[in-house]
Amino acid sequence: MDTPLKNLAIIGAGAMGSGIAALFASKGLNIVLIDPMEGALERALKTIDRQLNVYAPGGVQEAMQRIQVSPGLEAACNSDLVIEAVPENLELKRGIFAKLDSLCPARTLFATNTSGLSINAIASAVVRRDRFVGTHFFTPADVIPLVEVVRNDDTSEDTVARVMATLRFAGKRPVLVRQDIPGFIANRIQHALAREAISLLEKGVASAEDIDEVVKWSLGIRLALSGPLEQRDMNGIDVHYAIASYLYKDLENRTEPSELLKSKVESGQIGAKNGQGFYTWSPERRERVLREKSAALGELAAWLNGKAGGS
């Protein structure tokens, strides 16, 4: 099934919702962006205009005309697909979908953009569980190609096919996560990597800068072209087994966040958004890095898509 759903509602006008709205509007789909918070929609429209000027400069006005805004969930009632992109709060998400379930016609599909909350738990708020799916976009949502599409226990094949067709139409590379597990695929792998990196920093093995340098300029550039399982095949599974036999026992395997991570949060050192984390961030540096990395990621994604298309 290759026909995209044409009328979408996006619930939540933060960075993620704005990025999703910009993406789909730039591809010719009709969007209603919904957020009750005062000033959120005005800020979102400015953000979307700026995003479109980066990757769709020739069609900004046309794309913006396809985006309607509203503070109320009632505006979603004529949508083919509703994508929720509100903060990671289970009860907040469940409450929104319970209301949507009573407002929207039976044909409407529901998708929750969560980084790892249970799709089954969120879907339990609706009657139409067969029309409910998880869609995990990655920040920035309008740049990173991959979307994890996560089933709940009752998601129908038709729902999966329609949502994935819409994502492909928008230029995304959706993958189907067949089981509703915490963190899905990407966050499980990302947290395993981050846990080891934080442990190395905590033990004084190397500086934050040098740990990041190792990952970016060895694993990072290789992972852009070969996933970890393909790379094991290329290196030899026997070689991986031999190394794993002595290395696994020495890897970080704690089941609770490290003391370093806990102390950072407790002292308010939560990263770029407030100026201090593993690095020091001025507002100017934060904006510059976000802008430059988003542009570079877009160029890299376009290049990789070109390579994939020609292979």
**How many residues appear in the chain?**
311
Rg of the Cα atoms in the chain = 21
What gap in Å lies between CA 249 and CA 286, rounded to an integer? Answer: 38
The catalytically annotated residue of 70, 115, 156, 199 is 115
115 is catalytic: yes
Residues with Cβ within 8 Å of residue 49, at least 6 apart in sequence: 60, 64
The catalytically annotated residue of 187, 196, 240, 258 is 187
Amino acid at position 73, single letter: L
187 is catalytic: yes
The catalytically annotated residue of 30, 79, 84, 136 is 136
**Which residue, among 83, 85, 86, has the nearest Cα to 5 in the 3D structure?**
83
What gap in Å lies between CA 275 and CA 285, rounded to an integer? Answer: 10
Q: Spell out the alpha helix ranges (H) of 37-78.
A: 40-55, 60-65
The catalytically annotated residue of 30, 79, 148, 294 is 148
Name the residues annotated as catalytic.
115, 136, 148, 187
